[in-house]
Amino acid sequence: MTETPLLHVDQVHKTYTQGVLNKRVTFDLQADFTIEKPGIVGVMGPNGSGKTTLFELITGSNNPTSGQVRVCGQDIHQVRSDQRDRLAIHYHQSYQVRHFRKRRPNFMLQPSSTDYPKVHLFDEPQFNTQDGYIGFMLDFFRRLREESRLVVLCVHPNEPFHLRIMQEICESFIFVQKGRLTQAPDFNTLLQNPDVTAYLGELVGSQAA
């Protein structure tokens, strides 16, 4: 028997529609991937591509239209809502927190199998060169990884050094665009994707220089 993967996003679809009688799809996110082992995964993509929605689906705060998210083997949406952050934890971008209606009361759901989160999702952490905090942040990501946790780092790079940080710290990548995901096993493979180079634009050139 193989080990339980840390994170399994199993054919998750999230569809947002507009209108009651004449439903029109306004946004559609499709994700299907597995991360077996601890590591640091970089998520990049334009604003509005679905990065934060993906994080919300993984932590269970948002509900998928279809599909399932398994964290350490547990279906996150079947775990008590007050204990989901013991499996997967979402560090929101400043105070941008969306609230969702809870579907079922906690007594009908399972407790979390762990006490401390295994999956850490960082939503656009602020990297500011003016202070020394970047160094402590990178050390912290590495420490979590050494403690056998999965770190997912979502960044929308604006500066060449943002890309340098991602290249230095991340072991693999996921590129999100218009609700579709592309995985890349390393930084060079990521840059071979023409969509990625188009998205990064000038940052790639200045980064190589």
Partner 1 sequence: MALFEARHLHKRFADQVVLEDITLSFEENQISGIMGPNGAGKTTCFNVLTGRYRPDRGTVFFDGKDITGLPPRKIARHGIARSFQMMNLFDEYTALENIVLALPEVSARGFSMTHNLAHDVDAQDRGAAVLARIGLGGREHTPASDLSYGQRRALEIGIALAAEPRMLFLDEPTSGLGTDATATLATLIQEIRKSVTIVIIEHDMKFLFDLADRIAVIHWGQVIAQGTPETLRENEWVRTSNLGALA
Positions in the binding site for partner 1 (CB under 8 A) = 61, 85, 89-92, 94-95, 97, 99, 116-117, 122, 125-126, 128-140
Question: CA-based diameter of the chain, in Å?
Answer: 57
What angle do the packed helices 133-146 and 160-169 form, to 10 degrees?
20
Closest distance of CB 87 from partner 1, Å: 13
Closest approach of partner 1 to the CB of residue 94, in Å: 6
Q: Which is nearer to partner 1, 33 or 140 (CB)?
A: 140
Distances (CA, A) of 125 to 14, 112, 156, 164: 25, 27, 10, 15
Residue 16 or residue 91: which is nearer to partner 1 going by CB? 91
Min dist. Cβ of residue 133 to partner 1 (A): 5
Query: Which one, 32 or 159, has the nearer CB to partner 1?
Result: 159
The DSSP symbol for 159 reads: S
Is 131 or 202 the residue whose CB approaches partner 1 more closely? 131
Shortest distance, CB of residue 93 to partner 1, whole angstroms? 10
Q: What distance in Å separates the CA atoms of residue 184 and residue 181, rounded to the nearest whole number? A: 10
CA-CA distance, 38 to 6, in Å (whole number)? 7
